[in-house]
Chain A
Amino acid sequence: MVGLATVFGAGGGTSSYEEVENSDLIVLWGSNARAAHPIFFHHVLRALERGAKLIVVDPRRTESAAFGDLWLGIDVGTDIALSNTIAQEIIANDLQDHAFVANATENFEEYAESVAEWTLERGEEVTRVPAEVIREVAHLYAQADRAMICWTLGITEHHTAVDNVLALINLGLLTGHVGKYGSGLNPLRGQNNVQGGGDMGAIPNKLPGFQDIVEDPDARARFEAAWGRPIIPRYGWHLTDMFHAMDRGELTAIYCIGENPVSSEADATHATPLLENLDTLIVQDIVMTKTAEIADVILPASNAAFESDGTVTNSERRVQRVRKALDPPGEAKDDIWIIAELARRLGYDWGDLTAYDAWEELRSLSPMHANMSWGLIEERGGVQWPCNDEFPDGAQFLHARLWAFDDPARQGRKAPFSVVVDDPPVDLLSEEYPIRLTTGRRLESFNTGVQTAGYTSPLRRPEAVELSAADAEALGVVEGERVLVSSRRGEVEAPVHISSALRQGLAFMTLHFPDEVETNRLTIEAADPKSGTAEFKATAIRIDKLLAEVP
């Protein structure tokens, strides 16, 4: 979100699912959408049925890669190197969109200079993707009529998260694959309403509608007038900052809603005691999570999707209605009711607050939601922001303004290229920790398993450390054998699963089954300074046999 907001001013994916179907080239970069976003992948499949090409960039040869025309088995954490090499190949062959670069972007010269050293040979050396494949991708992407880059956590769960996103945006700017139908730059949101959370201001530096707390005094004044309180023009902490602040003893109380950091935080050995040592930990959740178990106060909540009314926003910026279908059990209450009740106990009577009331207030304060009434959302089955006087029906894709070369007023701020520098994962491989562990999702499971543990999936198999056949042979371990997996921060025991998706030196685990294997005891808390996203995708590990060799 930070990357897109920095370049374009709006932190949302630029395109619609329908455009994916009508694109000519789709690049899934650090995304295993077939497993993690299956119904988005249906739109990709429609494009493939139409004859579009699919390129998958992923260290693992995933289920998505199996559908690809090309699979780029990149070395973990070399995304910037790959992007810069593609850019250099495009520029060296003069395949960039000259008109777009000249009229709609800034900082091209400096960018071109910064990628000049990234010859195909150097790119291959760093990324381990064959030079001729990088070359083919560069030419396909530059010459496609319509092309999309879609990414997920394979891009953002790195200490270079924001730079990784900027590197992909650079490619879109270079080739003019943004701001027009069927071309775009799209983060696929991993969790329901991640987009909506950002839209609503649940990020440290923005008010609702991506209005900057510090840099936008007009917006701040409108919120101050509506709320009758001064707003301190100061950025807050993102998640990783919060843990650092806990470490320093500055952050002593947390009100945690629908999040399970005891299981989901990287470097759990370090993170969990920080949560335990808080003066106050309040957890509001629908089930007894591991975080709830160590809380001082638990507020049982109703389920947001099935037991309450409101809205969410999906990966194509579509605001959608959620509706109450079930009565919550026992004493569980709606999130809005709980928050309003807390306010009442603190001396503020907000009356009988509903999701509709909250939405109407949002519309009055967030210009990009101004015309988006619940009535319109109902009628259209969801509306894509922005929806205001300029876009009364919402916007199928963003940034068409950039193409208004002859109308500077309409075009607005040009999109800047960003100079981004290759920066390998923090957790370096060494003789002691020679294997690169990466993490990801399985089709039938979700995050820390709080939700998916509730149903019996025939696809589910126990958590394991997945290894290539070559590594398993070198280590003398077999399928199902329990081994000790260690990183510089912790160790866990796990059975081995041999996977043909992996090459030698690469291992894979999920975070789905913390009760079986606490993978986050291994992961590193090194985080991007701008987004606060931890480097879950790159851990250096070693694997040791637990059983003595049979003579």
Chain B
Amino acid sequence: MSGAKPQPASKISRREMLESLIGGSGLVLALAYGRPLRAAVVKQSESLATDFVPNAFLRISPAGEVTVIAKHDEMGQGIHTGLAIAICEELEQDPRQVTVIPAPADPAYGNSAYQVQVTGGSTSSWSSLEQMQQAGAVAREMLVAAAAARWGVDTSACEARDGAVHEKSGSRQLSYGELAVDASRQPVPEDVVLRERKDFRRIGKPTPRVDSADKVRGIAKFSLDQRVPDMLTAMVVRCPFFGGTLKRYDVSRAEAFPGVKAVVRVPTGIAVVAEGYWPAFRARELVEAEWDAGAGGSLDTGELRKLYHEKAKQPGMVARNDGDAIQALSNAELTVEATYELPFQAHAPMEPLSCMVILKEDGGAKIITGSQMLGADHPAVAARLGVDPSRVEFQNSLLGGGFGRRANPQSDFTIEAVEVALAAKSLGRPIKTVWNREDDLHGGWYRPMYLNAIKAGIDNGKIVAWHHRVVGQSIAKGTPFEPLMVQDGVDQLSVEGVADMPHGIPNLTVELHTISLPVPVLWWRSVGHSHTAFAKESFLDECAHAMGKDPYQVRRELLQGHPRLLRVLDLAADKAGWSKAPAPGVGRGISVHESFKGFAAHVVEASVENGRPRVHRVVVAIDCGLVVNPDQVVSQMEGAANFALSATLGSKISFSQGRVEQSNFHDFSIVRMNEAPDIEVHIVASDDEMGGIGEVGVPGVASATCSALFEASGRRIRRLPVEDQLA
């Protein structure tokens, strides 16, 4: 998802954009079929008749079990814990004593920033905090009213504290469980007063994750772990070329394989349905398929690089134009020029994709999956089945990593699983379609390949002109998000992070060439910032060296008037000991970048050992405004650094003769323990507006690493990943 901001010139309000999104798209928004909130929750369990269900986010059983229904999907970022903390702040309940379950598909759980049920764009905490506090406060008021009625006293004589209502002047108390039945009969309060920040008892205090123990012990259920009686497993033979078609095929050997129940044709290829993973996998190898490669057959990374370089020589669509960059460049004392390239990237969540489909007699279905975007998947499945969405039930799971891959507006793996189930309907059994790692890496929906060509003009030790061309595919184009994210032909996701750069350079031009390719692309943790920050921050480093200035001081000068960026920059520099020289042989790089309403600065220490990059230390400073759970902010920064380092040092998706060259973790190289640096995280105590976290730690890592490697080796990396470029 995106942190893209509307262009300054744009007069379109968020509401108007959302209306255009709803009205002008093929995505039937979940909003269109709203129903009472209670109904949404009641589906979760049959034992709810006596439960206290004050709203869609919370229920309390007479036995005292408090269950939080999480509107945001837990994919590692700790949001289940964060939502529980926010509810418990007002509910007056220990968040360690609640159970958190994934929400069903329902408009009640729409993302408050996007109005669609989706977890992305680092929006979860800031967009839902107050809503969760309110949900907790409403419940607390009703519990207090129930206790007051029971005791025949005024509510002002009662106080909720730690899972019970206490009589202020006496010794009487009633637990929430004891009050659950009565509380259900209390009127829902129209207004609740939320605690002020200074009075928070739980928000901002370190709270253990609600999911740690079950995940460590292997008890937690992810999509791939979900089992139902009689289920079958399907694997799909897909075209090795994007946009290719099936010419001829022979499935006789696969059909004869022991354990195989059916081999069926689906729009994406041929599905083998069998009694479990292994027979499905073995039999799939026996399918003989001949493909017409189509447009994707000629994909070649070397050729694509040539095409991107050619495009960068020509003017593109204007994304930002301040002053006259061309004129200022031609008048400048000194010009600096560089081109930065980034490959396609796969998300490669550790849990491979899967989706179970149980077709129902009424034409509907139950879907058991791991999705970041039920707001797209739910209406898409209903539309494919030709039924009202109320006949399609979604059971979401914990996600074994997402990074954007499970938030596909085109619902690729969900719809494919439905196609498999429909094609093999005669078997009358639930079917889980499972991907393996090769399917995942070959399956597309990558972060697009990008090129950034930049020129700067320098006068009197100041950058006076910046001319920046971005070349790459559009993520939003052709999706229901196009009206929201593509403005005047410019996909904001392609240029975010540079078209909105706040450096006060008087002559600034940002242009975009949108390339059309048959490769399906998608948002990948930090989206456009994942490439623009690498280019912008690397180039600032090059400009600093060209001016003979300290890269930290150059940023300080350019960011005057931007206190939140300056604060993280200063904090990272201070904690990293920027003023002291690094150890011999070790280089140091610095970056600072705003994304998703969050602010992060990185200092990286690295060296080159035997021609290989070696990252020793990463110091991160983060300002995300109010912090809900500090240790999880630390955790996200640590994880983001390693995630970004993988893409900096080793991982990529490339093409040769139309085929993806990588297939598994031996050649899609992600950071391992022996390469993982020490990471120090410093959180700015901030009263400023709340912002994002999960993606904010990614953008600045690549440039700071490459700047450090430059300082260590004298060699500038302008094409990711580094791989063996320093050998």
Q: Is the pairing of A and B real?
A: no
Interface residues of A (CB under 8 A from B): none
Interface residues of B (CB under 8 A from A): none
